[in-house]
Amino acid sequence: QSALTQPRSVSGSPGQSVTISCTGTSSDVGGYNYVSWYQQHPGKAPKLMIYDVSKRPSGVPDRFSGSKSGNTASLTISGLQAEDEADYYCCSYAGNYAPFGGGTKLTVL
């Protein structure tokens, strides 16, 4: 059971786009199309933003999109807004457990 790998931080200016990567193995990210992404603001519980690699739950803006290629999944946030500043975590199905990524801090400049 190993954690997924994410960059520690990314940044972008309002209106720009940023992409956060999430690298796993063929036993998790690469083996299934069951990747999810969570947004977490300081002191708050995580919020599901993406599931099934690229689907958005009701209420999540379409500025948030997901994709996957091989063992790497990606979350893209377009038209950055100040309220997007938060920590983002990926998570993958891996059979009987669900590894998270280490988290990426998004700073909106």
Q: Which stretch binds other proteins (CB under 8 A): 12-20, 49-57, 68-76, 77-85?
A: 49-57
DSSP assignment of the chain equals ---BB--SEEEE-TT--EEEEEE--TTTGGG-S-EEEEEE-TTS--EEEEBTTTB--TT--TTEEEEEETTEEEEEE-S--GGG-EEEEEEE--SS--PBB--EEEEE-
Please tell me whether residue 45 binds other proteins under the rule CB under 8 A: yes
Nearer to other proteins, 47 or 63 (CB): 47
Which one of residues 22, 65, 103, 106 is an interface residue with other proteins (CB under 8 A)?
Answer: 103
Please tell me whether residue 24 binds other proteins under the rule CB under 8 A: no
Q: Are 68 and 31 in contact (CB under 8 A)?
A: no
Please tell me whether residue 46 binds other proteins under the rule CB under 8 A: yes
Which one of residues 75, 91, 106, 108 is an interface residue with other proteins (CB under 8 A)?
Answer: 91
Please tell me whether residue 109 binds other proteins under the rule CB under 8 A: no
The residues that touch other proteins, with contacts defined as CB under 8 A, are 1, 3, 32, 34, 36, 38, 40, 45-48, 51-52, 57, 87, 89, 91, 93, 96-103
